[in-house]
Structure 1
Amino acid sequence: MGSKSEQLLIVVCILEGRHFPKSSRLSLIVQASFDGETLSTDPVEHREQPQFSTELAWELSRRTLHQHRLQRTPIKLQCFAVDSVSKKRESVGYIVLDLRSVQERKQDPRWFPLLNSKYTKLKPALLLSVQLETDSKPDPVSPDKFRAKQAPPRTASPALDLLPDRLQPVLVADRGFHQIGPEDLCSDMFVLSVTVAFATKLQQLIPCDLKLSAEGSDFFFYYTLLGNDITSEPFHSLLTPTFEPERASVRIRSSKQFLHRFLHQEKSLEIHLCCGSLSLGSADVPLAPLCSSSIDLETKAATAEGAFVLKPPKKQTQPAVRAELPTVGVAVTLRREDAPAPLVPLVPVVSSGPSVQPDPGPDPGPGLDQGPRSPVLSPIPREAPLCEQKAFLLRTLQVYTDSVFPLVSVAPPADSDTSSLSVSAPKVSIPPLAHHFCFSLDLRSIGNLRLPHPISATLRYQYSFFGSSAPVMTPVVTLSRHSEALLPQSFCAFDFAALPQQLHLSFNTVPLVVELWHRPLSSRDELIGRALLQLSHLLRSPRVKGQRLSSAEQSWRQTHQERVPTESAAELSYMASLDDLGLVRATEVTVTESTPTDPAPPHPTAPPSVPAPSLVPPRQTLEYRAALELEMWKEEQEDLFDHQLKQKEQSHMQALAEEWKRRDQEREALLQKKEEEFQCLEEQLHKTLSDLEAREKRLGEAELQTERLQRELRAEHSLTLTELKESGRRLQLDCDHRVALERDKSRLLQEERERLLQQISDAEAKYKSLEKEFLLYREQQNMRPEFRLQSEINLLMLEKVELERKLESITKSKLHYKQQWGRALKELARFKQREQENAMCRLKKQQQELEVMRLKYLSSEERKVTGQEREELEEIKNQINSDHLSRLLEERDTLLRTGVYTHEDRIISELNRQIQEVMKGH
């Protein structure tokens, strides 16, 4: 063993396949796995005999090979069919190779059928050969370690061979951790933490062709940690992103080996910078540093940290200067649960998800923002439906609208008897220039249901701008597929006061969302879809003059009617109207419930007695004092309301100024970015213009060359046309001559045809006469005595069969009698032996001699009888065969003598065959 090389190669040669179906859309790859390392072939055509011609090799030492053979480590080959369009892989089958049968000498390739094959009828197979080769470049590392993974040999565990190729974390909600790997092998607790600390140069990710104000006003970072969606604290500016560093942690129960395998499988953590539902860029944080074998997780944590570049979507360009690249600072740590946490100045964060827990840390540094935190919003994934993204934007805009504009009371008009719903809210103060608006919505019908089953449908909506957050719901109606259902009692009107600018801003930015719900009897309500009613259409509709009922002032009405889809589930028909009833009068101004509650004016429980005018002065009456106190209280409340209104106006103007400043900075950054892009485009334009000038010169030269070629082609064409005309004239003369010859030949063939038809008619007449003679001859032959002889032969054959059956039964009876006689003699011999032993021996010898003589006599008699019967049967058979043979010969010769039949006719061939069979039997 000392002379042999310590380093070996396990080489699997995949040559070709057979019995595969042909598919132009798919390709085949073979993936080989051994000891945690996976190798694969290049994609080949998916045809009947795919040609792989690939060698896959693993390097290991002799000692490691011996350990693998003791552990019965398999080499698993999996064949996949890959879709060329969607890149989706589907397993075709697998092959398991035994490492113990691999030898160092060269082995001939063999066909291995695919197990658990997708193509069960075809039974596909692969032509493989496995052998050991000596590695000419030994590993400088210790030979006791694995070459593929640089790790010590794994412990023998038969359960490892049954594990799937891809590990999936399983949430154990009642115990608060994720399980990775089998429970009997993985019992250690680990903590995986992700920290988003800072971000720089984020203005480079502002898209040039999209308004961020339509997506939302906040930015945040989003990533997924073991299936849990994590979002950072929202921030408002990309130029100076200020947010508190956040750490999200998950508890994992696993082992070091399985955890490293899972991290190798995941490869990286993807972090997105989002604005609403839009991803402005993403960064990949590699997880390979967490799998380093040099880090002992028993004593310290493994960390992967740094500033990672945020890459914009493919459709956007990225700055070429390294210093201008947008980055995000991220730290990912992995440690045992009982090990000390790494000292990183982070602020604890509570993230969503059952298994994501806050990870405590020290207080933030002096440079970090310690202000109050805003609630963390859950972003909508990129693959979410369009309706959910719009609903998310709608919620954001509604919150912004509620914080900026004061809302007023919402109530249906008093004279509306058709209204089935009423919405009310506490009354608030109304600005002096506010208008009195009345918005009414009539949901008329819903139809064109595309679900396969009927539903109990109800509609639900709310619009906070009208002053109430209570939802409006319609009665339940039954809706079937491809039918339309009317919605009774679905008219609702909202009275409110607002500035026209506020109304236009809200209607143009925030649509009214109507939700379609299914309300089954035995289960919870189910959301079927949402319809977006664009109120901006109502503002663009024509205005119709009207007159207010309470005064002579004119009002304006706008009406809009349409059908809108409900997320491809149904269609909703509605009519909306907006009445502008003019300015709100001073008498309509009410007091908000948030104003200080001063003592109310006295309300007497009983009407006071009215004194005589001559006794009590008018200004000293109780009514006058109460009215005076009420007026004074009203003036105080009006002053207080004006003061509050000015404070709100100042705060709103300050917020608008800050928002304007922030957006101005974003516009400047966007303008700078666009100027850089325009400079690049200008350089490209100059280069394109120079290319176009050179191309124009080449085109001019090519045009002159084309004109010269056209003149040459015209001359060549005229010459060719003259030659064609001459050759056509010669061909015409030749054709006329050939036509005349063919006419003469046709006349001769017609005469020959008439002669042959006459010969055919004569032959048919001769055939009919011969057929009549043959029928007469066959009737004469049927009257001959051979037929009677045939019936007698049949009777003799039946008698012969009966005699053979009797002979067989007699033979069986003789054998039975001989057996019985033998048994009787044996019993007699045993009986005599009991009485006298010596006499029995002599009698037994005599009896045996007599028995032998008797058997000889019986056998001789039996042979004589059997021989006589056989001779008689042979004689009868020969007589029958000779008669039958003579009859067949006579019949064949008679037919040949008539001259009608020859030896090639079917009836003569059949007679010859029967004659040959009779002669063979004879």
Structure 2
Amino acid sequence: MASKTDQLLIVVSILEGRHFPKSPRLSLVVQASFDGEQLATDPVEHREQPQFSTELAWELDRRTLHQHRLQRTPIKLQCFAVDSVSKKRESVGYIVLDLRSVQEVRQEPRWYPLLSSKYTKQRPALLLSMVLENDTKPSGPSPDRFKAKKAPPRQGSPAVTDLLPDKLESVLIQDQGYHQVGPADHCTDMFVLSVTVAFATKLEQLIPSTMKLSAEGSEFFFYYSLLGNDITSEPFHNLLSPDFEPERASVRIRSSKKILQTFLSQQPSLQIHLCCGNHSLGSTDVSLSALASVSVDLESKAETVEGAFVLQPPKRNKQMLPALPADMQPTVGVSVTLRREDVTPQSLRNKEGSGAQPQSVPPPSVPSAEQRPQSSSPGGKPPDPSPPRRSLLPPSSHTESEAESLLEELQKGREQTGREQMGLAAADLEVPVQQQSQAEAAAEGGASSISVSAPRVSIPSTAHHYCFSLDLCSLGKFSLTHPIAATLRYSYQFFGSAAPIMTNPPVELQRNMEVSLPQSFCAFDFAALPQQLQDTFLRVPLVVEVWHRDSTSRDQLIGRASIQLSRLLSSEKSRFLTPAGEQSWRQTHQDRIPVVNAQRPSEKVAELSYIVTLEDLGLVKATEVIVSQSSQSEPLHPTQPPSNPVAHRSAAPSFPSDPPAPTAPRDTLEYRAALELELWKEEQEDLFDDQLRKKELSHMRALAEEWRRRDREREALVKKKEVEYNLLEEQLQKTLSDLEKREKQLAEAELETQRLQRELRAEHDLTQRELKESSRRLQQECDHRVALERDKVRLMEEERARLLQQISDCESRYKQLEKEFQLYREQQNIRPEFRLQSEINLLTLEKVELERKLESTTKSKLHYKQQWGRALKELARFKQREQENAMNRLKKQQAELEAMRLRYLATEEKEVVRQDRQELDDIRNELNRLKQQDDRLAPPSSAPAPSTGVNESAEEHLSRLLEERDTLLRTGVYTHEDRIIAELNRQIQDAMRDRGTL
């Protein structure tokens, strides 16, 4: 369980907004969600600049914070527009915040634009700030308990502790390279807080069996946070015997003894994690309470907390790992030291017993632009000959620190291995970089105070020694109306320093004039691969910023100029000889580039004239890493501290003293150069052969060590497997007992299932009866409908017969009329014409009327024929459908009757068989009784009779079994595969076998 000081608060301050359209009906609400918990602000007016002024906070401990940072858990802010009438919410946009950028030091608020905003014409933004605060809520059962008031201060100056706030915080002073704790007027002393991770043992116990120890790409490292700076050790691969070098991380603190002790008493324990990639395998807490004790004397000695601390696995892995004895616990050796900066630790005094004077570590200073040779100030102080430097080679992705305390390691190296080895270490030390937050702070011009000691030489054999120089000549064609005090500033991290290079002092630049820039020449020595150099120069330009420095206001960015270093690579190469007589190459490029406005990139402000030079000094060799004491103390030309130098190289040429006049051909420079070239070739061949032999030996040793390491890993895995198998055996026993309980539960469930089956059968029978009743009702209804249809058909037939009768009457009448017409015509032949005409007219009228009646009769006849045909067809369909339904019902009923008959026959046969068996048993008992009476009455000579009785009983038993089997098979319910038939067959075979033996 975490202590009180481990509790933190993630505080997100939502201050105000901008570029929102004005809407009186709506209001704005910001809702923040983190780790499944949602918080929201109060509604504010929907205007152009809404004022939220709200802080949202989440509680968590440091370990949970570390897990969230590893998993990159975001903080999502979603802005809603709420209708004041309908209370309907509509999303305006959202913002995603990165938890890894949250620090314990309060930072300036920043504007964050809304993503996926519905206001497309404008771009709304929110002013936000994030900070980590220690949770100082009161503990105890009663928060309102009585608390005594503080005594009034005495007359005079108040005590320092009375002036301190309740919660002390460390503030990073970037330009000075230290952290400040407490008020500035009370911080009079400088302290150094160091953390050393020395060793680790039994780390394989933290690895679950599902994870391979020798998986490709699996690197392990230790991680901890020191005053808000994330520190990781050098990665290692072997968990059985970790081979990492002890690393010390130091931070410089400006404070006083009492204030610092109060600050340390408020700090939580130092958590050290063993990590693999983004996962924590185990952690331990190192308490800093001993450093905050009142009895600690920091005036003359250092206070140290050290020991072997047990690493505890995280909660998700505790169930997968068995309980371990005390001698098998994974441990890590940690030492935490607090001392004054002017006090040398006892360990350093023991190691420097050879006479080296202890010296304090100078704070890293921000490098300024180097003066040009022709304008160097006479009183200028040369830079530190061995400043902290960064490796240009790709560092490990897990180590995070600055390079300040490397000077202490270099101080030891001077006394142990001489100046040449010191120069090599200073040139080739690989110093890892910090995370994104520290990199941004360094890019702003500050130097962090955190440092890690890791004395390792890491330069590939194919790396070249380069010297890059940049001379900013002049600024001209200034287009602004008002004059400015111009200062140029640039930084290029590829050269190893994120600190900016600036020209000093500022020069006055007016409209349409050109001025030269003082102290604008700077040279960088570094080591890099040629391909890496080309890729970086082609991809990353060097950006020069023009600033206006005003004593009465803040510095103002005027414009930027982008120098394309790829043009330098395409320039012509020229050959030259180094002072050592070696052949090198030089490339120079001169150009004028525009300075564009920082606010409007399309507007040109001025022109910058510059000269860049790149010198390739050849491959990195040990003979080049020689830094003499004189060159360190009195450099010929002050140069900028290099990033990953191969040797300290002066930017200005050194002029050797005039040699005496040559007296012989062997004393000429050409002869010496040729002789040195031949000697150099022989030396290089010897070095090459020696390197080959060393590589072969190192490879063989690495193979042997890898074999031994893997053998030890296999042994450790076998031991872990044994422990895990024992645990699995216990789990198996528990599972067996659980299975027995489950079998009992299954038996009970089976009984319950049988009961449910009986209930379902009863429900099925009830459903069958209901179906039969419904089918009977449907039958009656169909019969009724058929009778009605039959009545309709009978009526239609009667109507048809009537119509046929009418037709026949009409036809007979028609024939009669035709006969009368013939008779009439015959009579007309003898009558006068007028009588004939009148009769013709009458007959015509009658004919028309009869024809009309005949036509109507014919139409009605056709109509009735059609109706009769339709009725016949409908009747045929009804008959066919009814026959089909009747056949289906008849078949179904016959099938059911047949099934019921078979069941009834089977039951009846069983009953008959049972009665027959009972009668047979009665007859057998009666026969046995009669036989016993006959035996008592018969003479003794009739002995073979019982044998005959036994044979008859066996025959009866066999015949009974055969009859039962045949009866069961005849029912059709049983087959030969059923269990009862198989049992009867077996009994029949036994009976036949017994009869054979008799």
TM-score above 0.5, yes or no: no
Which one has more relative contact order, counting CA pairs under 8 Å at least 6 apart? 2
Taking structure 2 as the reference length, the TM-score comes to: 0.30
Query: TM-score, normalization: structure 1?
Result: 0.32
